[in-house]
Structure 1
Amino acid sequence: MRKKLVITEKPSVAKELAKVLGTNQKTKTYFEGDQYVITWAFGHLLSLQLPEDIKKEWQQWRLEDLPIIPKHIGLKPLPKTGGQLKAISHLAHRQDISGAVIATDSGREGEAVARYILEWIKFDKPVERLWISSQTTKAIKDGFANLKPAKQFDNLYASALARGHADWLIGLNVTRALTTKYEDNLSAGRVQTPTLAFVNETAQQISRFKPEKYYTIQLKVGQEQATLQMAKPQGLKDRAQAETLVAKLKQAQGKVGSVKTSQKSQAAPLPYDLTELQQVANAMYGLSAKKTLSLIQSLYEIHKVVSYPRTDSKYLSTDIEGTLKERLSALVKFDPRAKQYLGQGAKVKQPAVFNDRKVTDHYALIPTEEPVRAEKLSTDELRMYRLIVERFMGLFADQYVTAVTKATVQFGDHTFTFKQTKVVQQGWHADSKETPTTSVDWQEGAVVPADFSIKEQLTSAPKPLTEGTLLGKMEHYGLGTPATRAEIIEKLVRSELLERRGHSLAVTPKGQQLLKLVNKTLVSPELTGKWENSLEAIARGQENQKAFITEIEAATKTLVSEIKKSETEYHDFAITNKKCPECDHPLKERNTRDGKVYVCTNCHYRRRKDPKVSNHRCPQCHKKMVIIEGQAGAYFRCLNDGTTEKMLDKKDCKKKISKHEERRLIQKVNQEEEPAESPLAAALRKAMEK
């Protein structure tokens, strides 16, 4: 029987597809059934070749070799996953395999994962594409019933190739140029460098900021207050100026100029796209962009209760309108409003959410038809799910309606505007609070007493960027995609160019140096934003991939030339005053997964900056002891009371006790635990024996 080879992005997805499709025969590298053979990758199994893979002379980093612009950049297997790649190749060339189904993530990178594999194994049979936006049983069955020709996604693959080549050409060449010229590990790229510049620019604005004092004039009428409207809101710079103006106002008679009441209707916010949800999660719960993406990916893949997470759209396509009632039904036990809205016919009261033109690869983040088991979710997963459900419920809710009364009070040419808001209809905004009823009965032409006060205020500095606000700037300038932005921020942190300080982000001294050394065109977001727009246009078939790469190659040559000619000096802030005990050269401080370490700038000497905390407890105070590397070897030391203990060798730690010794020790312990016979008991025993 002829079968189709299904390629998924990870084992967990393959397992789920096998369950739905009844492909029950399991092996180490695939599942097999009557119709399908389902196998998997581990993310990318192949990557673009490095310069040394193309030409041996490029293995050594030399400034004179740059820019490196090969005619062809091939693929190479990743070393740790070569076995799975061989297994897929073997399956693909089986006689009973009639074609392949790409079932990787429905996006640009997911397309690249599968296409790289098919290209490497020289697959020459028909290829189809599974394109779904949720992992529910219904979505999977519908998707396999409506497989699409892979050719429909050739432009998406062309965009993925163009993105990979652009990052290779610019990132690799600029990084090598900076590293070799300034003799330090300096990483730059077409997206990460302008992202770093955003954080630095805000930090500079804060450092340059000097608070200024200014004054405002308040008018009180009953229990209400209003501020004097001025052409320049912060125009009163000294108190004497404010007092002079108040004196002038008191000379005029205050009258109510106009009283107008109008109703304002506000529809519920649209469902989330990934970036907005990451911003909200960061602001509300302090979660990093990467953590938020991981949580939603879990809700999508493992729990199957939300749609595809890596979306850049807040709209829904018209073809899923018929599924909303079923999605609402799945929420009945989770949210009591679902039953209410079902009783009203599950009518969507925000029809603007359906917009095919504003849906790209995937529609907005919404719940699936799968009922959630809240007890199975972690605390953070539940938080993310509630946020997504809240936006979804807003689609069926009435508008939030308020009646806003505005009363203007004139003192000569000067105006005070009083504003009162009354909630007419709560609608979706259930947590809104109504403004307390005022005692003022506003009547046009009524005289108002001159009850003025002067308020002293200070201008406020810009706030440092958080991950949420940085994501917003990246989205505004078109830097990266919803799927890549979180990883870009993490890469900047790993490269020691960016660091987290509480909820805020800060550029390290190394990062500040890099921004001075790197090309100004690469620092600016405009050029990178233009390139990202081109990649999207390639995915839509509106631009040519080869023309884009030609532009990138020209930019690479310019960027490398500018670095070579630059006369900017570099100071390595990571170099300390400490000396290497082996060669007397300065030690450099580095962040690693194991904490901060000192490495020699000349030889291979390396040691931890701070002692490593162990799980071994101090025998005196029972606090954890640290491991100290001494001349005679490592030993434990308590930082609290100074107690030291010898560390056992690995051989001693692994040495097992013999069965004979184990029995002897147990017998001895049992004997020691038996209570001794008291003198009274001994006397009684002897008396009874007589």
Structure 2
Amino acid sequence: MRIERLWIPEKPSVGKDIVQALIRTKRAKVLNAKSAATDGYFSLDTGDVVCPLFGHMLTMLPPAAYLTKEQNAGNYFEFLPLIPQPFKFEPKPDVDAKGKAHPPKRFNLIGELSKRAGQIVNACDIDREGQLIFDEMFLYWGLDPAGNRFLRAKITSKAETDLDRSVTALEKNGAEHWVRQRMAANARQVMDWLLGMNGSMAYQQLTGIKTMSVGRVQSPVLAMVVLRDLAIQTFKPQTYFVPVVTLADGTALRWEKRKDAAGTAGFDAAGRLIDKSLASGMVGAIKAGARGTVAVASTKVERESPPLPFSMGRLQATASKQHGLSVEQVTKAAQNLYEKHKAITYVGTDCEYLPSAMHADAGAVVAQLASVFPGKCAKADPGRKSRAFNDEKVDEHFAIIPTGLVPALSDAEYAERAVYETVVVRYLAQFYPAYEYEKTSLVVMYGPDEFRASARRDLVLGWRELEKPESTETEEAPANGPSRPLPKLEVGQQLAATGVSLETGQTKPPSRYDEASLMEDMISAYKFAKTERDRELLQETQGIGTSRTRGPILQNLLKRGFLLSTKKGKRHEITSTPFGKETIGRLPPWLTDVATTAKWELMLSAIALGEAEMQSVIESQIQYVKTVIERARMQVSPRQSAANEKGAGAAKKAA
């Protein structure tokens, strides 16, 4: 059988969609409709064959593949670091219900079909991992996936019109962009192996704990939870005091700060007033007639643009928080909405922006959504163009939005209905006006102490009619509430208080992580930077992990007993187990640093953008791994070293 064009999607569900698209665009007929499941592929009368994969078909071999039996049973420090040249791969075997391994039927089938194909189309997911899944097979077979035979389908939506466009507008799989994607994924693969395998073996040898595990992303994520739990465990509440001045019209001015007082006598590190006698002295002085001076008296109109559409990470965090779903439930629901219902665009994205050209489709999409969300769509103006439509922020990925194909979801599919509405509402927000409000600020100085009041008055609700903003620590809450106006005062004006009181508060421990907030912190890795320079640098990244890996990393930590997830109300609270705490306690802080891992993600992105060489990035990781091993080796005590030598000798003798 001569094959004109072999299509290789990443999943069977995508394969079926491609077959339907070829039937529509080429008026093709399936020749083996009855036997396709048994054959493992669809054969069409146009010479097209569609044969899907099951994700990665190759696996990197473990350290045992490079070690002698004696090395594997002895002292790891005798040969670490292990830097394979080259790395070894093998096809993943098929495993039956009884756990017995068999030769990889699908992998071998694709190899045979490829020999007979004139052209081969990479129809895997369009992220860097999808590119690697396809390319690595042909590299394993000694073929160049960037050669002229190889094409690339860019599937971003399962809606029929979008899918039809994807199967007709093919690109070269060897285009520079796709080659760089593969290189970035390959670098990620190698970096994970180098640190994960070497670090784990080193600390297994050092601690004697054979389940000790180190991971480039796994370890920092675990450390985030452990450190949060320890902060809660060791937290000691601190009483603080807040003098409150009342003006003649009833305005309450709350003590805010004393400039440069943080950490000095009477103030804690955050600048809170913790000395009651000092606070009482302030109150007494004001009662005795001390007058305040107006330092700020301003009223201005502020505008808040709609929040950007969702990347997968933001969707996981937001939908989990809004609907009480686990990250795993959100992920599965989103995948079903994309693959099964074709109701939303590609979910494996870390981008929150949209191509400008997609704005032309807004009217049709909103019109379709109006059949299910008439109230929300009524005020949406498809002619409005939000900041989300920005070609400079988009490469092969764009944000998750509805396709306009409205799914018929049953009550049993609660997670899918909830996630779908979350995506729709955020998309519709792009066609609502900005939220506008009038903000009045009043700052009055009583000597060196700043007292403050603020008020907010809504002018245009805009997108806030659709969704309430997520509360943040930085969002200012008006002390007098939004309904009480502040008096009109002039800067420099002297004020006398009509009353003054002293309020008492108590510091609270940080809240425990839940799945939503942990996902948010994985994305917002810049918050963990130790310098302002690093903070600015990391704000340009999507944090640690990717849209494809963050959920599985969390699930892996849960399944392996490092973390525990407990449902409390709508929250899926995350805590570290004793094993998780012990693991992080044994690892040095520099090996679990979130900011360091985020910098590595930045380097991987640089490879994909053509701004860094793959081999240079891998070489930097090799040097880092060597440092990891040397530092671990330095921690070995003489007693441990002797025990290791004895164990190694016994292993060699037994062998």
TM-score (normalised: structure 2): 0.79
Aligned counterpart, 1:536: 605
1:54–1:73: 8 Å Cα contact kept in structure 2? no
Aligned counterpart, 1:347: 383
Aligned counterpart, 1:664: none
Deviations along 1:400-451, whole A, 9 cap, x unmatched? Answer: 1112233456667765433222211121111679956438765666976522
Match of 2:555 among 469, 480, 490: 490
Deviations along 1:91-133, whole A, 9 cap, x unmatched? Answer: 2223xx2111111111111112212233344557701111121
Classify the secondary structure of the residue corresponding to 1:375.
coil
2:377–2:428: 8 Å Cα contact kept in structure 1? no
Classify the secondary structure of the residue corresponding to 1:179.
helix
Aligned counterpart, 1:33: 44
Deviation, 1:301, is 0.7
Deviations along 1:67-86, whole A, 9 cap, x unmatched? Answer: 32221113211111711112
Deviations along 1:3-54, whole A, 9 cap, x unmatched? Answer: 2100111111111211222253331201111332111111122112233445
Deviations along 1:156-208, whole A, 9 cap, x unmatched? Answer: 11111111112122211222233344142111112211222222222333333
Determine if the alignment matches structure 1 residue 456 to structure 2 residue 504.
yes
Match of 2:159 among 117, 120, 136: 136
Determine if the alignment matches structure 1 residue 243 to structure 2 residue 269.
no
Deviation, 1:277, is 1.7
Determine if the alignment matches structure 1 residue 295 to structure 2 residue 333.
yes
Classify the secondary structure of the residue corresponding to 2:174.
helix
Aligned counterpart, 1:660: none
Greater fraction strand: 1
Match of 2:369 among 309, 331, 352: 331
Q: 2:212 and 2:468 mapped to 1: Cα distance?
A: 50
How many pairs does the alignment contain? 566
Classify the secondary structure of the residue corresponding to 1:171.
helix
1:498–1:508: 8 Å Cα contact kept in structure 2? yes
Match of 1:113 among 102, 120, 133: 133
Which shifted more, 444-453 or 110-119? 444-453
Which shifted more, 411-420 or 529-538? 411-420
Aligned counterpart, 2:4: 3
Which shifted more, 486-495 or 505-514? 505-514
Classify the secondary structure of the residue corresponding to 2:166.
helix
Q: 1:330 and 1:56 mapped to 2: Cα distance?
A: 63
Aligned counterpart, 1:559: 628
Aligned counterpart, 1:99: 119
1:3–1:34: 8 Å Cα contact kept in structure 2? no
Ranked by relative contact order (alpha carbons within 8 Å, sequence separation 6 or more), the top structure is 2
Aligned counterpart, 1:509: 578
Deviation, 1:143, is 0.9
Q: 1:189 and 1:471 mapped to 2: Cα distance?
A: 17
Q: 1:469 and 1:335 mapped to 2: Cα distance?
A: 29
Structure with higher Rg: it is: 1
Distance 1:561 1:241, change over 3 A: closer
Deviation, 1:563, is 2.5
Aligned counterpart, 2:650: none
Classify the secondary structure of the residue corresponding to 1:100.
strand
Classify the secondary structure of the residue corresponding to 1:86.
helix
Deviations along 1:379-409, whole A, 9 cap, x unmatched? Answer: 1111111111111111111121112233456
Q: 1:569 and 1:473 mapped to 2: Cα distance?
A: 40
Give identity over the alignment, percent. Answer: 26
* Matching residue's letter, 2:286: L
1:464–1:504: 8 Å Cα contact kept in structure 2? yes
1:254–1:447: 8 Å Cα contact kept in structure 2? yes
1:61–1:176: 8 Å Cα contact kept in structure 2? no
2:10–2:54: 8 Å Cα contact kept in structure 1? yes
Distance 1:410 1:84, change over 3 A: closer
1:254–1:450: 8 Å Cα contact kept in structure 2? no
Aligned counterpart, 1:127: 150
* Matching residue's letter, 1:40: P
Classify the secondary structure of the residue corresponding to 2:463.
coil
Which shifted more, 132-141 or 253-262? 253-262
Where does 1:167-182 land on structure 2 (aligned, <5 Å)?
167-181=192-206, 182=208
* Matching residue's letter, 1:112: L
Match of 1:426 among 461, 473, 490: 461
* Matching residue's letter, 1:553: I
Deviation, 1:90, is 2.3
Q: 1:209 and 1:451 mapped to 2: Cα distance?
A: 35
Q: 2:628 and 2:450 mapped to 1: Cα distance?
A: 56
Determine if the alignment matches structure 1 residue 70 to structure 2 residue 139.
no
Classify the secondary structure of the residue corresponding to 2:306.
coil
Distance 1:544 1:349, change over 3 A: closer
* Matching residue's letter, 1:469: S
Where does 1:567-606 land on structure 2 (aligned, <5 Å)?
567=636
Q: 1:310 and 1:164 mapped to 2: Cα distance?
A: 18
Distance 1:229 1:158, change over 3 A: closer
Q: 1:519 and 1:446 mapped to 2: Cα distance?
A: 56
Where does 1:374-393 land on structure 2 (aligned, <5 Å)?
374-375=409-410, 378-393=413-428
Deviation, 1:463, is 2.1
1:99–1:126: 8 Å Cα contact kept in structure 2? yes
Distance 1:568 1:145, change over 3 A: farther
Aligned counterpart, 2:217: 191
Deviations along 1:47-66, whole A, 9 cap, x unmatched? Answer: 12233445564883431343
Classify the secondary structure of the residue corresponding to 1:456.
strand
Distance 1:432 1:553, change over 3 A: closer
Deviation, 1:246, is 1.7
Q: 1:177 and 1:266 mapped to 2: Cα distance?
A: 51
Aligned counterpart, 1:273: 311
Distance 1:525 1:405, change over 3 A: closer
Q: 1:259 and 1:159 mapped to 2: Cα distance?
A: 53
Which shifted more, 260-269 or 57-66? 57-66
Aligned counterpart, 1:630: none
1:394–1:428: 8 Å Cα contact kept in structure 2? yes
Q: 1:370 and 1:58 mapped to 2: Cα distance?
A: 60
* Matching residue's letter, 2:514: T
Which shifted more, 317-326 or 268-277? 317-326
| CA RMSD in angstroms, aligned pairs only | 3.0
Q: 2:433 and 2:310 mapped to 1: Cα distance?
A: 19
Match of 2:351 among 293, 309, 313: 313
Classify the secondary structure of the residue corresponding to 1:547.
helix
Q: 1:310 and 1:418 mapped to 2: Cα distance?
A: 45
Q: 1:129 and 1:529 mapped to 2: Cα distance?
A: 30
Distance 1:487 1:432, change over 3 A: closer
Aligned counterpart, 2:21: 20
TM-score (normalised: structure 1): 0.75
Distance 1:215 1:51, change over 3 A: closer
Q: 1:320 and 1:100 mapped to 2: Cα distance?
A: 29
Distance 1:7 1:323, change over 3 A: same
Distance 1:538 1:409, change over 3 A: closer
Classify the secondary structure of the residue corresponding to 1:242.
helix
